[in-house]
DNA sequence: GTGCAAACATTGCATAATGCAATTAGAGGG
DNA sequence: CCCTCTAATTGCATTATGCAATGTTTGCAC
């Protein structure tokens, strides 16, 4: 981990962990409100599925379940409901008839776009309230953070505003 | 919001929004992995309840439900299960016998501590992989972000996550 | 080309989470 | 005492979830 670092770096790391945890509360709250604000009442898992289908393109059921980290049977029933709601489209792979090809419909993508726009608007509002001289540093710091994490295989599908355990 | 700012500040804000959104993906993924790694036979909502009871001290049922942003009936049944699992303690308020006083047991607090430690370890690992010269700026930037958000009354209880009425 | 194992989707079953609408129990004011 | 308000609880329906079959199709070995 970090056992090769001098003590002052450990202190800086601890301080940053605290800052990250605090900022996380804000981000979680923003994500939750963005989802709650739209007209189409979607559950959090349903929205996560739509995000995966919208950003990742057509996938089969097993692949979708893996990206959502749920059991294939769970994913199947969610697909059933979202399909009935006209937000997800099912088709059969002509090459391999075992496979089911899943994709978001225009309506489903529209919902994802609405929530995303609202979330970005909320973040923009917060960022606009920050002192200007902090913004450049924040951009660099957050990008460095994402890069450092990216080297550890972060799963992008987790980005959905999932209700979180305890970011307290 | 920011309509009094020059264009270049708008650009900086947009760039920061992108950085924040990307970083939030990382944070959500980290939290999900931290909880999955423990897996003390606890669901995510159960863990959230334990965190609230652990960090916030004794509360009544309605207050607990509000902090979790769920219906009191939902909170009640979760309390039933966690109580049966020996992680939550029920008592009656002697002053007002309508009120139920809820608190985490030692076992419940132990679970919260385990997951919290693991989550902080994950963040520490990522932070340790960041260039040292970015850390100070990140701390300041994240704190400024949290302050800016705090002045807008972030309310986690706004989220309900109810599904569409007639889906089946 | 037959047959078998592997991959996939699906169904059956059980439990948890969730909200809304009663219903019960207690507190407080008149 | 009665009325109202609050808090907890229960009844009912829907969604989310995982594990364990079952069925279906594919690919491969022989």
Residue A43 lies in a domain: yes
Q: B158 vs A32: CB contact, 8 Å cut-off?
A: yes
CATH number of the domain enclosing B108: 1.10.10.10
Residue-wise pLDDT tens digits, B71-111: 999 999 999 999 999 999 999 998 899 999 999 999 999 98
* Closest by CA position to B136, among listed A8, A128, A23, A131: A8
> Burial code of B129-147, b = ≥16 C-beta within 10 A, e = fewer?
bbeeebbebbbbbbbbbbb
Beta partners for A90? A102
Residue A5 lies in a domain: no
Instruction: Determine the 3-state secondary structure of A79 from DSSP.
Output: helix
Question: Residue A90 — φ and ψ, nearest 5°?
Answer: -105, 145
B71 touches strand C (CB under 7 A): yes
Residue A149 lies in a domain: no
Beta partners for B92? B100
Sign of CA dihedral B52, B55, B56, B57: positive
> What does each of the 168 residues of chain B score in pLDDT, given as a tens digit?
444 445 555 565 567 777 777 777 677 667 666 776 665 678 888 988 999 999 887 999 999 999 888 899 999 999 999 999 999 999 999 889 999 999 999 999 998 888 888 888 888 888 888 888 777 777 888 888 888 877 654 333 333 332 322 222
In sequence order, what are the residues at sequence separation of 6 or more whose Cβ sits closer than 8 angstroms to the Cβ of residue B7? none
CA A3 to chain centre: 32
Residue B157 lies in a domain: no
Integer Cα distance of A42 and B91 in angstroms:
36
Rg, chain A, Cα only? 19
Give the CA diameter of chain A: 60
Which residue range is the domain that position A94 belongs to? 18-144
Residue B8 lies in a domain: no
Residue A162 lies in a domain: no
Q: A146 vs B20: CB contact, 8 Å cut-off?
A: no
Question: Residue A24 — φ and ψ, nearest 5°?
Answer: -65, -40
Question: Which residues in window 76-105 of B are less than 7 A from strand C by Cβ?
Answer: 77-78, 81, 96-98
Q: B152 vs A126: CB contact, 8 Å cut-off?
A: yes
- What is the total count of domains within chain A? 1
Rg, chain B, Cα only? 20
**Nearest nucleotide, C1' to the C-alpha of B69?**
C18
Instruction: Determine the 3-state secondary structure of B115 from DSSP.
Output: helix
Residue A114 lies in a domain: yes
Q: A138 vs B135: CB contact, 8 Å cut-off?
A: no
| Helices and strands, number each (H, E), in chain A | 6, 2
Question: Which residues of chain B lie closer than 8 angstroms to A1, CB-CB?
Answer: 121, 124-125, 128
Residue A47 lies in a domain: yes
In sequence order, what are the residues at sequence separation of 6 or more whose Cβ sits closer than 8 angstroms to the Cβ of residue A3? none
Helix H segments across B39-105? Answer: 44-56, 61-68, 72-84
Beta partners for B104? B88
> What does each of the 168 residues of chain A score in pLDDT, given as a tens digit?
444 445 555 565 667 777 777 777 677 667 767 777 776 778 888 998 999 999 887 999 999 999 888 899 999 999 999 999 999 999 998 889 899 999 999 999 999 898 888 888 888 888 888 888 777 777 888 888 888 877 644 343 333 333 333 333
What's the gap in Å between the CA of A66 and the closest CA on chain B? 14
Q: Is residue A85 within 8 Å of B164, Cβ to Cβ? A: yes
């Amino acid at each position: 981990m970090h056992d090769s670092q001098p003590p002052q770096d450990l202190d800086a790391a601890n301080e940053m962990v605290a800052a990250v945890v605090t900022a996380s509360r804000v981000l979680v709250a923003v994500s939750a409100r963005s989802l709650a604000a739209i007209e189409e009442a979607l559950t959090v898992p349903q929205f996560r599925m739509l995000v995966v289908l919208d950003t990742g393109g057509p996938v089969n059921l097993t692949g979708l379940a893996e990206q959502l980290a749920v059991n294939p049977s769970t994913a199947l029933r969610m697909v059933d409901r979202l399909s009935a709601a006209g937000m997800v489209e099912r088709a059969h792979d002509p090459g391999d008839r075992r496979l089911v090809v899943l994709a978001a419909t225009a309506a489903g993508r529209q919902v994802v776009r609405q929530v995303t726009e609202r979330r970005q608007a909320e973040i923009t509002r917060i960022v606009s309230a920050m002192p200007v001289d902090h913004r450049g540093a924040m951009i660099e710091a957050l990008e460095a953070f994402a890069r450092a994490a990216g080297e550890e295989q972060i799963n992008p599908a987790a980005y959905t505003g999932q209700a979180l355990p305890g970011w307290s």
